[in-house]
Structure 1
Amino acid sequence: MKAWQFNGFGLENLKKVELPTPTPGPKEILVRVKAVSLNYRDKAIVDGIYLPELMKPPFVPVADASGEVVSVGAEVTKFKEGDRVTSHMFTEWVDGKPSLTLGASALGGPNNGGLAEYMILKEDTTVKTPDNMTDEEASTLPIAALTVWMSLVEFGKIKAGETVLVQGTGGVSVYAIQIASALGARVIATSSSNEKLERVKTLGATDVINYKETPAWEKEVLKLTNGEGVNHILEVVGGEGVNQSIEALTPQGNIYVIGFLNGLESKVNLFALLAKQAKIHGINVGHRRAFDDMSRAFEQLQIKPVIDTVYSFDQAIEAYEHLYRGAFGKIVIKVAD
């Protein structure tokens, strides 16, 4: 089969190769990959900042993939040949608390992922592709959408009428706007682009803030909420910006730390944290049971993924370069028709 293989840190080490088509084990399925989507995690792996001690090249990158089952192992009962399925990054996390060795089970590094014509998935942690989505659309669900669902629904128990702050317009952030608004929340979105802020209004954002024009955006958030602050914050920036998020929070509100665009470390103002009685959750995607719940909800709520650009399989490097520049929504690579 044709595949892209990660042979070492740096984008120059992502090479197109030919590999043997894998054979499924007793509880595994072989999937003909139709589409994959890129996440910030994929960039962080290339840059050598995402669990570099676990990444042992060579491997096929990209965790998020959708396709069609072409063969099943002898003990598989959940899926059959011809079923449309979508991957789940953590192949050992079905429900409940994660194990401390969760990272070792991940697709797209250290285990082979979906940037290939075929991939192996485990029966227990694979999800049925929603009937109302194309393969390109479904490939955007496993990390970006599930991370938001795990934050707002599983941890946050979000209620209609609550307020959510969303940072930026990448894949996770766009899904946060869509999910929060669909569940009846008020959404405040931030970006450095007025054009993108106009676009997020069409997805459900009710208030927008340009953080370049308003660097003290947390004060603007307090103004917009009559001094009360927001109930939920999707923290994708990280670094010292966490302190601005604490200031923008309502007492006993939730901050979901998802990304680290501005750095892996932060000096937190502990007095502000205590005063707000803030709840800070570290979010690392989610389990398969939540993925199943989310997929059913997406069909009922008619949430459609926002895709910035679809690249061909041969354009994988260009897709990664687009990821480095940033996107509005998701970047997808079409592997097969």
Structure 2
Amino acid sequence: MRVFQIEGDWGFDNLNLSKRPAPSPGPGEVVIRMRMASLNSRDLIVPERGYGRATGDLPLIPVSDGVGEVVEIGADVTRVAVGDRVCPTYFQNWTSGEPTPARFASALGGPLDGVMADLVCLSQEGVVKVPGYLSDAEAACLPCAALTAWSAIATLGRTKAGDRILVQGTGGVALFALAFAKMHGAHVTVISSADDKLEKVRTMGADETINYSETEDWARASRQITADRGGFDNIIELGGAKTLPLSLRAVRPGGTLSMIGVLSGLNIEASLGPIVARQVRLQGVTVGHRDGFEAMLAAMAQHETRPVLGETFAFENLKPALEHLRKGGHFGKTLIAF
């Protein structure tokens, strides 16, 4: 069967189209014929061994997100049947409960082999059935980006109607966060550096928008939006080094900073005083568990929520797809068709 794998040594030059034997399921396992995959920012980091030893060992099949059809099952499989359309879960060993080192060490696409293979063999505990209203392309977007946003908005953020939410940017996680926050009845502000993208998110339900390339101090500019409570209830923090100091000024006393991305850098220079004096909660968000995934799918089906799709590339064009992702400027998830 076809696979893309990082082999021989780390680096994009060693990400190659190759072959492996087709897998057979053991007890409790299922074989999935993959149909579509979608890319996330981490897929640019894994080939360079950007997570150190936690990236995994070579050869490694990259990419965590996709959808496929169950074509074979092993003994004692009860969660799914042949013919079911399923998504693999991002963390294969995290079905519920609190995170643990072992659960965090079970991510697809590094350290475990990912979905860039014609056939993928996984535990039945590491897959979820996909609602019928979603296309393959839409379903492929869900395991990492959508569940991360759901965890930040619903599971950890505990968003309720009337909350003021700020979402940074218009990437995959950000667009899901906007959709889920509106689903919960929240008032949502989106910041971006591109007016055309801000116009698009307004059509998707954003209540307020700020262009941070024109208004660099967006924390000050947002004060009139949250004047009744002294700041945002939850800020979906995707920027990192450059945005966190502003987020600390824009969050309300007792509010939450949902730390998801570090697009502008890892190391920050910010005063810790406001966190203590205003009792701000700094909440790291790393995708989520299977129970959260299934709850998210139930909510999406109730509202028929659909992901925003970007450009689609053929399986053999994984490298051009990753370069497209790296360049930025796109709107919607970058997809791989098998």
Per the normalisation by structure 1, the TM-score is 0.96
Q: In structure 2, how many angstroms separate the alpha carbons of the residues matched to 1:259 and 1:47?
A: 18
How far has the Cα of 1:213 moved from its partner?
0.6
Tell me what 2:266 maps to.
Answer: 264
Q: In structure 2, how many angstroms separate the alpha carbons of the residues matched to 1:198 and 1:216?
A: 20
Tell me what 1:58 maps to.
Answer: 59
Tell me what 1:334 maps to.
Answer: 337
How far has the Cα of 1:3 moved from its partner?
1.0
Q: How does 1:1-337 map to 2 (within 5 A)?
A: 1-7=1-7, 8-226=9-227, 228-326=230-328, 327-335=330-338
CA shift digits 1:202-260 (9 cap, x unpaired): 11111111111111111111122227211111111111421111111011111110011
Q: In structure 1, how many angstroms separate the alpha carbons of the residues matched to 2:199 and 2:48?
A: 32
Query: Retained in 2: the 8 A contact 1:84–1:128?
Result: yes
Q: In structure 2, how many angstroms separate the alpha carbons of the residues matched to 1:51 and 1:128?
A: 32
Q: Report the count of equivalent residues.
A: 335
Q: In structure 1, how many angstroms separate the alpha carbons of the residues matched to 2:250 and 2:25?
A: 49
Q: In structure 2, how many angstroms separate the alpha carbons of the residues matched to 1:9 and 1:174?
A: 32
Q: In structure 2, how many angstroms separate the alpha carbons of the residues matched to 1:305 and 1:257?
A: 22
AA matched with 1:220:
A
Q: In structure 2, how many angstroms separate the alpha carbons of the residues matched to 1:9 and 1:202?
A: 42
AA matched with 2:37:
V
Q: In structure 2, how many angstroms separate the alpha carbons of the residues matched to 1:39 and 1:238?
A: 17
Q: In structure 2, how many angstroms separate the alpha carbons of the residues matched to 1:53 and 1:124?
A: 22
- Other structure's SS at 1:224 match: coil
- Other structure's SS at 1:169 match: coil
Q: In structure 1, how many angstroms separate the alpha carbons of the residues matched to 2:197 and 2:247?
A: 21
AA matched with 2:267:
E
Query: In angstroms, what is the RMSD of aligned CA positions?
Result: 1.3
Structure 2: 5+ residue stretches without partners: none
Per the normalisation by structure 2, the TM-score is 0.96
How far has the Cα of 1:27 moved from its partner?
1.1
Q: In structure 1, how many angstroms separate the alpha carbons of the residues matched to 2:165 and 2:62?
A: 32
Q: In structure 2, how many angstroms separate the alpha carbons of the residues matched to 1:204 and 1:85?
A: 29
Query: Retained in 1: the 8 A contact 2:258–2:284?
Result: yes
How far has the Cα of 1:104 moved from its partner?
2.4
- Other structure's SS at 1:70 match: strand
AA matched with 2:2:
K
Q: In structure 2, how many angstroms separate the alpha carbons of the residues matched to 1:240 and 1:133?
A: 36
Q: In structure 2, how many angstroms separate the alpha carbons of the residues matched to 1:109 and 1:230?
A: 35
How far has the Cα of 1:265 moved from its partner?
2.4
Q: In structure 1, how many angstroms separate the alpha carbons of the residues matched to 2:104 and 2:159?
A: 28
- Other structure's SS at 1:101 match: helix
Query: Retained in 1: the 8 A contact 2:54–2:105?
Result: no
Q: In structure 2, how many angstroms separate the alpha carbons of the residues matched to 1:88 and 1:51?
A: 22
Structure 1: 5+ residue stretches without partners: none
How far has the Cα of 1:268 moved from its partner?
3.2
How far has the Cα of 1:9 moved from its partner?
3.1
Q: In structure 1, how many angstroms separate the alpha carbons of the residues matched to 2:212 and 2:185?
A: 25
Query: Retained in 1: the 8 A contact 2:46–2:55?
Result: no
How far has the Cα of 1:53 moved from its partner?
4.3
> Sequence identity, in percent?
39
Q: In structure 1, how many angstroms separate the alpha carbons of the residues matched to 2:27 and 2:51?
A: 31
Query: Retained in 2: the 8 A contact 1:229–1:248?
Result: yes
Query: Retained in 2: the 8 A contact 1:166–1:177?
Result: yes
Mean CA deviation greater in 43-52 or 110-119: 43-52
Query: Retained in 2: the 8 A contact 1:160–1:185?
Result: yes
How far has the Cα of 1:32 moved from its partner?
0.1
- Other structure's SS at 2:243 match: helix
Query: Retained in 2: the 8 A contact 1:60–1:108?
Result: yes
Query: Retained in 1: the 8 A contact 2:6–2:62?
Result: yes
Q: In structure 2, how many angstroms separate the alpha carbons of the residues matched to 1:229 and 1:207?
A: 14
How far has the Cα of 1:276 moved from its partner?
2.2
Q: In structure 2, how many angstroms separate the alpha carbons of the residues matched to 1:178 and 1:50?
A: 30
- Other structure's SS at 1:226 match: coil
- Other structure's SS at 1:237 match: coil
Q: In structure 1, how many angstroms separate the alpha carbons of the residues matched to 2:54 and 2:300?
A: 36
Q: In structure 1, how many angstroms separate the alpha carbons of the residues matched to 2:179 and 2:51?
A: 27
